[in-house]
Structure 1
Amino acid sequence: MSATRMLVLGVVKLVGEAHGYQVRRELQSWSADQWANVQPGSIYHALKTLAKDELIEAVGTEESDEGPARTTYKITAAGEHELQDLLGQALANAGASNDQLSASVALLNLIPRKQAVVLLKHRLAGLEGQVAPTRYGVTSFPEMGKPAHVSELFRLWLVHLEGQVRWTQDLIDRLESGQYELPE
Structure 2
Amino acid sequence: MLRLRQPTHGYAVRRELLSWRAGNWTNVKPGSIYHALRQLAQEGKLSTLGSQGSDQGPGRTLFELTAAGETEFRRLMDAALVSVDMEELGAAIAFMDALPRAHVLEKLREQRRRSAEVRDQLIGMTGDFPGRYAPPHATDLLELWGSVFDNPAGWTGGMIERLEAGEYRMPD
Question: Quick one: distance in 2 between partners of 1:129 and 1:155?
Answer: 14
Shift of 1:152: 2.5
CA distance in 1, matches of 2:123, 2:79: 26
Q: CA deviation at 1:123?
A: 1.2
Using the aligned pairs only, state the percent identity.
37
Q: Answer yes or no: is 1:80 the counterpart of 2:70.
A: yes
The structure with the greater share of residues assigned to helix is: 1
Q: Distance in 1 between matches of 2:138 and 2:55?
A: 58
Does the aligned pair in 1 maintain the 2:14–2:30 contact within 8 Å? yes
- Cα drift, residue 64 of structure 1: 1.5
1:18 alignment partner, SS class: coil
SS state at 1:107 partner: helix
Mind listing any 5+ residue stretches in structure 1 that lack a counterpart? 1-10
Q: Provide Cα deviations, 1:67-117, integer angstroms capped at 9, x if missing partner.
A: 2210000100110110011001110233xx222111111111111100000
For residues 33 and 132 of structure 1, what CA distance do their matches in structure 2 show? 31
Whether 1:42 aligns to 2:32 is yes
Partners in 1 of 2:120 and 2:27 — Cα distance?
Answer: 32
What TM-score do the two structures reach when normalised by structure 2?
A: 0.93
Amino acid at match of 1:126: R
Matching of residues 77-116 of structure 1 within 5 Å: 77-94=67-84, 97-116=85-104
Separation in structure 1 between the aligned mates of residue 21 and residue 49 of structure 2, nearest angstrom: 28
C-alpha separation between the residues in 2 aligned to 1:115 and 1:103? 16
Say if 2:82 and 2:89, in contact at 8 Å, map to a contact too. no
Tell me: higher relative CO, structure 1 or 2? Use CA pairs within 8 A at least 6 residues apart: 1
1:175 aligns with 2:163: yes
Instruction: Provide the TM-score with structure 1 as the length reference.
Output: 0.88
**Any stretches of 5+ residues in structure 2 without a counterpart?**
none
1:128 maps to 116
Partner residue in 2 for 1:25: 15
State the partner residue of 1:148. 136
Give aligned pairs, total: 171
